[in-house]
A and B are shown apart, each in its own frame.
Chain A
Amino acid sequence: MGRRRLVPLGGLVLALLARPSPTAAQQASINASAQVSIIALSIAGTQDLDFGTVASGTPMTIDPRTSVSAGRFQINGFPFGQFQLTFTLPALLQRFPGPATMPISFGATAACGRTTNVQATCGYFNPANPFLGRIRLAFPPNNNYFVWVGATVSPGVAQAPGVYQGAITATVAYTGN
């Protein structure tokens, strides 16, 4: 944990919005934006996990720390707020349309997180387990937490051609309310 010094939110917002001059109104907008950015919670996908073309019979792994193809999303919320992040992970990718499938697996280092958008220095974690993190102690738009996700797909030797897709459900919740 770290130091935190933030003004009370509601009173500041109301005080700012009550000020009449154009300059003040502009300032109020900026500050009010900051306040709602702080008290809101969001999770945003910024890049899907993309294996591209894979070779039949050859497993392919995307490392969340080193691959530009890793899935990526970010969480925005209350500065230094603690959150819980959980994943629902698929075991198979499905070809659309059609019944063909492809196995996919997620190892103990298949996810990686950091408070700043620097993938190369993120910390690995196991997406199969609930993950506890903290929003960066910074005002908007830097009140973030960034997550990268990798996986391994294992196409069969006689894998039917096509595009195989699946979905990861990522769930975020504060732990303090």
Chain B
Amino acid sequence: MRRLVPPLLAALALALWPIVADAVLVAPHALFINAREPSGEVFLVNPSDATEEVTLEFQFGYPATDSLGEVGLALIPEPAPDQPSAAAWLRAFPRRVRLEPGQRQRVRILATPPAGLPDGEYWSRLIVTSRSARPPVAVSGDSAVQAGITFELRTITSVTFRQGPLTTGVRLDGFRTALRPDTLDAWVDLTREGTAAYLGSVRFELREPSGRAVKTWQTPIAVYYQQHRRFALPLDSVTPGPYQLHLLVSTAREDIGAEHVLPAEPIERLLAAVEVR
């Protein structure tokens, strides 16, 4: 049954997708494969009304934060030897696809890790690039000067290769807040523990002094190494006054199958004095 679900879903995806000029849908957004079953499948769907030329490539990368606490994807074309990159030994079949309007394509992702690879988790990003197959516009026959820009679209998803027993966890430090107009910034330092990336979520709950929750925010997180992260919590409709901010960090994920989420103990923190002005 499980093997029937992805292609069926890929086929059904067309039903609710808007007709657009150029597009390729990539599913799933996170692929997990392991040493016992070293291959997986990605589905490409062209919901547009134009033929698309699609290429697939792999590159090492992971989410990382900057000094402002913003998270972004760090792509590393030439990873250091001690970085757990799977990019060099992942292959996509086919690697180039021409997708007609409405067409879907199954792509097999195969891992061929080097012999003697130590147990652990190895990461890569799958970069799917699509270009319209429309021919270039010919030179106009008159003396006019015309200008235009087309889009080349890239979708990046994750591929994780797991070998042997793995553990994950996260250490939380430096939980603090800073108030901006209409926004409460919550800062946390997250350090991954164990042998695999921490895929989970953070849930903030703003509470009255009595303990009654007045607002909650939740978002997925992925901690591959360390993150110095700022979460911007909008304070729309929050009445000024004293509050508490409760933080729960857990491996709860709604967008990734439970069989792929490594368990870890949840972490809770409470800031007892948060003043909203």
Given A4-B218, A130-B72; A170-B157 close (CB under 8 Å): no
Provide the residues of chain B in CB contact with A33, threshold 8 Å.
9, 12-13, 15-16
Of B89-97, B167-175, B254-262, B268-276, which binds chain A? Answer: B254-262
Contact with B along A33-62 (1 / 0, CB 8 A): 111111111111111111111111000100
Asked if A29 is at the interface of the complex by the 8 Å CB criterion, the answer is: yes
Provide the residues of chain B in CB contact with A84, threshold 8 Å.
71-73
CA A105 to CA B184, docked complex, whole Å: 36
Asked if A99 is at the interface of the complex by the 8 Å CB criterion, the answer is: no
Contact with A along B192-222 (1 / 0, CB 8 A): 0000000100001000000000001111111
Q: Indicate if the CB atoms of B217 and A44 lie closer than 8 Å.
A: no
Candidates A32, A43, A149; contact of B153 at CB < 8 Å: A43
Asked if A71 is at the interface of the complex by the 8 Å CB criterion, the answer is: yes
| A 67-104 contacts with B by CB, 8 A | 71, 73-74, 76-78, 80-82, 84, 90, 93, 95-98, 102, 104
Asked if B244 is at the interface of the complex by the 8 Å CB criterion, the answer is: no
What bracket does the count of chain B residues touching chain A fall in?
35 or more
What bracket does the count of chain A residues touching chain B fall in?
35 or more
Q: Indicate if the CB atoms of A54 and B222 lie closer than 8 Å.
A: no
Asked if A159 is at the interface of the complex by the 8 Å CB criterion, the answer is: yes
CA A33 to CA B16, docked complex, whole Å: 7
Q: How far is the CB of B60 from chain A (nearest CB, A)?
A: 13
Candidates B151, B218, B222; contact of A1 at CB < 8 Å: B218
Asked if B29 is at the interface of the complex by the 8 Å CB criterion, the answer is: yes
Q: Indicate if the CB atoms of B26 and A41 lie closer than 8 Å.
A: yes
Candidates B2, B25, B254; contact of A40 at CB < 8 Å: B25
5 other contacts beyond A56-B145, A96-B136, with CB at 8 A cut-off?
Answer: A10-B257, A34-B16, A43-B153, A49-B149, A176-B220
The 7 A-B pairs with the shortest beta carbon distances in the complex, nearest first, are A44-B23, A176-B220, A173-B156, A1-B217, A40-B27, A36-B9, A49-B149
Can you show 7 pairs from A to B with CB atoms below 8 A apart? A14-B1, A84-B71, A93-B149, A165-B149, A172-B156, A174-B158, A177-B220
